[in-house]
Amino acid sequence: MEELLILVDRCDRKKGCAPKLEAHKKGYLHRAFSIFIFDHAGRLLLQQRAFGEYHSEGLWTNTCCGHPRPGERTKAAAVRRLQEEMGIACSLYKVSSLLYREQVSNQLIEHEFDHIFIGIAPGNPTANPVEVHAWQWMNLSQVCAHISAAPETFTVWLRRVFETIGFAGVHAWSERPATGAATD
C-alpha cells in the first residue's frame, strides 16, 4: 500500500490525504519535515540520497527529510524517520518552517509546508543503505561553498533553506540545542 501524505493549505491546516506519488506528480501542497543534525563542533550532518530514490537520487541534502503519516504528529514523525533513516536518536527542536514549490527529477514536484527541526547527534549515524548512499559531517561555510560551486549536486529544498534562512540563520541553529534556547 502506498504511503499517504497529509495535504494542507498555506497555513498548514489539514485538507485531506493523497498517495505520495500522486501528490508529487500533481504538486499538491503537503506537510513535510526537514531535520538538520549538528555535532558539538557545529558541523552539519549531510546525507547523499540513495540511488534509486523516486526523485533527487544521488543528491546531497540535509540529515533527514520525510512526511508525517495521517494521525501522526510532525515531531513524532521526525523522530521516527531520523531513527529509521540515519540510526540517530536525539532530542529535536522545531526552529522554522518553509513553504516552497520546486520541480525535482522524474517530472515530480515538491510542494511542501516544511517543518524544520534541529538536534545534536550523540555520535556518528548508522545510515540505512536503502535510503542513504553516503554521509559526511561538514562545516557550514563548506556547505555554502559547495552549494555555490555545484548547486546541481544538492537537493532543491536544501538550497532553498540556505537561500531563505541564510548562513547566519543556519549557523545560529547549530548553537541553539547546546544552549537550550530551542523550543519544541
Active site residue 102: no
DSSP 172: H
Task: Write out the binding residues for Mn(2+).
Answer: 24, 30, 67, 110, 112
Q: What is the DSSP string of 43-112?
A: -EEEEEEPTT-SSSTT-EE-SEEE-PPTT--HHHHHHHHHHHHH------EEEEEEEEEEEETTTEEEEE
Instruction: Name the catalytic one among 2, 57, 65, 84.
Output: 65
- With a CB cutoff of 8 Å and minimum separation 6, the contacts of 17 are 4, 5, 6, 7, 70
Task: Write out the binding residues.
Answer: 24, 30, 67, 85, 110, 112
Instruction: Name the catalytic one among 2, 17, 112, 163.
Output: 112
Q: Find cell 561538514 and name the residue.
A: 138
Task: Write out the binding residues for Mg(2+).
Answer: 85
Active site residue 17: no
Residues with a catalytic annotation lie at: 65, 112
